[in-house]
A and B are shown apart, each in its own frame.
Chain A
Amino acid sequence: MSKDKTNLSRRNALRLIATTAAAVPVIGCSEKAAPKVELKEDKAATKPAVKNLDAPKQTLARGTPTDPDLLNPVVPWEMQLDARELAVLAALCDVIIPADEISPSASSVGAHHYINEYVSAPYSNNKADLVTIRGGVVWLDGESRRRYQGPFVELNESQKNAICEDIKWTRNAKPEFQAGARFFAKVRVLVSTAFYTTEEGMADIGYVGNRPMASFPGAPPEVLKRLGLES
Chain B
Amino acid sequence: MASEDIENKEYDALIVGSGAGGGMAAYVLATAGLKVLLLEAGRSYDPVKETPMFNLPKDAPLRGGSTPEKPFGFYDATVDGGWQVPGEPYTQGSQEKGRRFDWWRARMLGGRTNHWGRISLRMGEYDFKPYSRDGLGFDWPISYQDLAPYYDKTEMLIGVYGTNEGLENTPDSSDGVLLPPPNPRAYELLAKKACDKLGIPVIPSHLAILSERLDHENIPQKLFPDNKLAQDVTRESMKSRAACFWATPCGRGCSIKANFQSTTVLLPPALATGNLDIITDAMVREVTVDKKGKANGVVYIDKDTRQEKFASARAVVVAASAAETSRILLNSKSTLFPDGIANGSGVVGKYLMDTVGAGVGGQIPALENMPAHNEDGASAMHMYMPWWLYKEQLRGDLNFARGYHIEFGGGRSMPGAGAFGGMGDFTEGAYGKDLKKACRRYYGSFVWFDGRGEMIPNDDSYCEIDKNQVDQWGIPVLKFHWKWSDQELNQAAHMHKTFAEIIEGMGGNVTTTVQTDGAKAIINGGAIIHEVGTARMGSNPKDSVLNPYCQSWEVPNLFLTDGAPFVSNADKNPTLTIMALAWRTCDYIVEQFKKRNI
Q: Which A residues are within 8 Å of any B CB, using their own CB?
A: 1, 5-6, 8-20, 22-24, 26-30, 32, 41, 44, 49-51, 58, 60-62, 64-68, 70-71, 73-76, 95-98, 100, 102-103, 114, 117-118, 121, 123, 161, 164, 168-169, 171-172, 184-185, 188-189, 192-194, 196-199, 201-202, 204-220, 222-224, 226-227, 229
Contacts and interface: CB of A to CB of B under 8 A. Distances in A.
Given A8-B302, A16-B277, A24 B440 contact: no
A154 B239 CA distance: 64
B79 A67 contact: yes
B423 interface: yes
Given A70-B50, A219-B186, A220-B373, A117 B240 contact: no
29 contacts: A9-B4, A13-B1, A16-B1, A16-B277, A17-B1, A18-B280, A19-B109, A19-B280, A27-B239, A32-B1, A50-B55, A51-B60, A60-B50, A67-B80, A96-B435, A97-B436, A100-B436, A164-B432, A168-B424, A193-B419, A204-B436, A211-B374, A215-B182, A216-B377, A218-B182, A218-B185, A220-B371, A223-B373, A226-B370
B374 A188 contact: no
A161 B433 CA distance: 12
Contacts of A67: 43, 79-80
Contact of B240 (A12, A27, A215): A27
B68 interface: yes
Interface stretch (B146-154, B266-274, B323-331, B484-492): B266-274
Interface stretch (B246-254, B291-299, B350-358, B530-538): B246-254
Contact of A49 (B55, B277, B305, B414): B55
A17 B439 CA distance: 51
Contact of B279 (A15, A62, A103, A208): A15
A62 B50 CA distance: 12
A206 B372 contact: yes
B182 to A, nearest CB: 4
B247 A213 contact: yes
A169 B440 CA distance: 20
Interface residues of B, number: 109
Contact of A23 (B267, B304, B373, B416): B267
Contacts of B588: none
Nearest to B507: A227
A74 B61 contact: yes
Contacts of B61: 73-76, 117, 121
Given A22-B109, A123-B67, A12 B6 contact: yes
B375 A24 contact: no
A15 B281 contact: yes
Interface in B163-208: 182-186, 189-190, 193
Contact of B75 (A50, A70, A217): A70
Contacts of B57: 197
B338 interface: no
A214 B212 CA distance: 10
Given A215-B246, A229-B186, A171 B428 contact: yes
Contacts of A27: 233, 236-237, 239-240, 268-269, 272
